[in-house]
Amino acid sequence: MKRSVFILLGLLLAGSTAFLIFRSNQPESPPTLQTTTVLRMDIEETVLATGTINAYKTVEVGAQVSGQLEKLHVALGDRVEKGILLAEIDPILQQNSLKEATAELENIDAQIVSKQALLEQYQKAYDRQLQMIEHQATSTANLESARAQLDSTRADLDALAAQLR
């Protein structure tokens, strides 16, 4: 009984396979074509398509300073040439930076004037200590202290000159 069931299933499988092979080898029916008579007229049909349009040539534009745009003199897609003003950046950030730098320079100038006055005072004190040491009227420690103040003030003036540059 089991054997006859297997034989029957095998025959069904072979038959269905043969049917599918025969069916797939049949030529497809030719497509139906629509035809119409030729007329002379304007074509007013629209074709809708999706896709990406890329620019023929793109150029990256950047600025040497950052800030908010105050005015934009060109629109997207405008043709521009070298030297044309494209945009104006709000100058407030640069103006503030300039004011800070100017104030810092004035501060350094004031420090230089102050250090020059100290240098003059320390030079006189050092000269007095030299005269007094010749007459043994002061200690070597006082002379060395006056010399250190003088050298330190000269170094401070050099540092301020470097900052000024």
Contact in structure between 108 and 156 (CB atoms under 8 Å) = no
**Residue 9: both structure tokens together:** 């299933």
**Residue 38: both structure tokens together:** 């030729």
Query: Over the stretch 39-79, which tens digit does the pLDDT of each residue have?
Result: 888 877 777 888 888 877 777 777 788 888 889 888 888 88
Task: Give the 3-state DSSP-derived string for 17-70, with helices as H, strands as E and coil as C.
Answer: HHHHHHHHCCCCCCCCCCCCCCCCCCCCCCCCCCCCCCCCCCCCCCCCCCCCEE
| Average pLDDT taken over every residue of the chain | 86
pLDDT value at 94 more than 80: yes
CATH numbers and ranges of domains, the chain: 104-164 (1.10.287)
Share of the chain above pLDDT 70, in %: 95
